[in-house]
A = this chain, B = another copy of it.
Amino acid sequence: MTNHASHQFGPADFNSDSLGEPSHKSPISNRIGFFVPENSRVLIENSAEKIFSICKSGVAPLSFEQAGPREKIYFNPEEINCGIVSCGGLCPGINDVIRSITLTLSRSYGVRNIYGFRYGYQGISNDRHEPYLLTPEFVDGIHEEGGSILCTSRGPREPEEMISVLKHYGVKILFTIGGDGTLSGAYRLGQEIIRQNLDIAVIGIPKTIDNDLLWVERTFGFTTAVDEAWGAITAAHVEASCVWNGVGVVRLMGRESGFIAAHASLAHSDVDFCLIPEVPFSLEGQNGLLKHLQRRLEKSHHAVIVIAEGAGQEFFSMKQKADASGNIIFNDIGIYLCHCIKKYFQEQNIPVGLKYIDPSYLIRSLPANAFDSEFCMVLGQHATHAGMAGKTNLVIGHWNGHFVHVPLPLIAGKRKQLDPDGHTWNRVLEATGQPSFMV
């Protein structure tokens, strides 16, 4: 699903940092099968041919450290405080993660003080709001509401400033829930912690509704988003098919990648064109979208277009130049596309009934569905286990069906995209019947 090239990496890139040798016995359980052995690792690839040929030659295949509770832990739970922070845009499931970490720290490990830093990284700065003291009672039922009880903000803070706040509260493990930018901030924080030789773990829980983080197969909130995008596509289809030459345009989330747009189009039968950042398209010309739309309308008299918010961004720079004198400044590909469709069909003297739907904020702010909710709970548990075991500078990822530790340097500042030659996009082309190339 990803277009990374694993051959660029060596085994060392997949090893996680650690604060030191774990020496305390975990207080959680003594059940068989509960603990994950230290050397347990998950293969990066699972193509049988490839793996066999690598291994036969005596080279160990690339792998991630498996996440999960460790029998020996690094911190004495009774002696430390912990902190949680959520950054960036909303995504279904943030409250589930906060709740899971709080419950696991408190009930499973017995950590006493858990600080909920508020409004993103601003909450770990000198102009912070007082953090919440998180308890099982405090987090009771929060996962039934969307958003984040810790609120969020965008933007980084200086590592030194953050460290002084963490020290102020005696925080030994910081859990950061956030996307690309947030994790880059966590990485810089972790580097500074190493530089100062401090005993503080930094554990990331990757948050991107777009599901576009490299080395992470699935992020929480994504299936909820695809579920809910269904309703928007249905609405567009109903609106389009109830008038002559009806066109429904749905803009879905996906700044850098088309995962939501593609999977929603696969889940729903009535999409005629799916447009994503990874696959450039033209509007004009015999093979452009507008001409293809016209052909579609001539055939069935209605059409649905799904477009990721990051698709067709190349139009804007051009347009902005063209419009230097300047009437309209576009910042929304959906609105721009509607504008172009209207203009084109007006020039052709073909009446169309155009309806534009942008459900983004309706989706982002939902509580997680059950599937994501369980996923968030396990992510939070594994983040806690990792932190207590003294792991640091990593995020909890999901790879080949397992929860794994992904080192921050591998993931921070990198994104995955849909492979235009991969299975998913090929299936989208098959399902929509749209041309492979519209350029």
Interface presence of A227 (CB below 8 A): yes
Interface presence of A43 (CB below 8 A): yes
Interface membership of chain A positions 155-171, coded 1 if the CB is closer than 8 angstroms to chain B and 0 otherwise: 00000000000000000
Cβ contact within 8 Å between B47 and A374: no
Contact of A419 among B33, B54, B108, B374 (CB under 8 A): B33
State how many residues of chain A have any CB contact under 8 Å with chain B. 102
Interface membership of chain A positions 361-394, coded 1 if the CB is closer than 8 angstroms to chain B and 0 otherwise: 1101110011101100110010000000000000
Interface centre among A40, A238, A365 (most CB of B within 10 A): A365
Interface presence of A10 (CB below 8 A): no
Interface membership of chain A positions 130-164, coded 1 if the CB is closer than 8 angstroms to chain B and 0 otherwise: 00000000001101111110011100000000000
Q: Identify the closest chain B residue to A99 (Cβ).
A: B269
Cβ contact within 8 Å between B29 and A147: no
In angstroms, Cα B430 to Cα A370, docked, is: 18
Known: A227-B369, A361-B235, A430-B381. A51 touches B49 (CB 8 A): no
Shortest distance in angstroms between A127's beta carbon and chain B's nearest beta carbon?
11
Complex interface: chain B residues within 8 A of A40 (CB): 47, 49
Interface membership of chain A positions 35-55, coded 1 if the CB is closer than 8 angstroms to chain B and 0 otherwise: 000011111001111011011
Cβ contact within 8 Å between B374 and A226: yes
Considering only residues 387-439 of chain A, those with a C-beta below 8 Å from chain B are: 400-402, 419, 421-423, 426-427, 429-431, 433, 436
Interface presence of A72 (CB below 8 A): no
The stretch from A18-26, A177-185, A207-215, A352-360 touching chain B is: A352-360
Q: How many copies does the complex hold?
A: 4
Cβ contact within 8 Å between B31 and A436: yes
Cβ contact within 8 Å between A31 and B361: no
Complex interface: chain B residues within 8 A of A48 (CB): 41-43, 60-61, 63
The stretch from A194-202, A239-247, A272-280, A289-297 touching chain B is: A239-247
Q: Identify the closest chain B residue to A225 (Cβ).
A: B370
Interface membership of chain A positions 238-265, coded 1 if the CB is closer than 8 angstroms to chain B and 0 otherwise: 1101111000100000000000000110
27 pairs across A/B with beta carbons < 8 Å? A31-B436, A33-B419, A39-B49, A42-B46, A46-B400, A48-B60, A51-B51, A90-B238, A99-B269, A108-B430, A144-B145, A146-B234, A147-B242, A151-B243, A153-B244, A223-B371, A226-B370, A231-B362, A234-B365, A248-B361, A266-B374, A266-B377, A267-B370, A267-B373, A357-B361, A362-B362, A381-B427
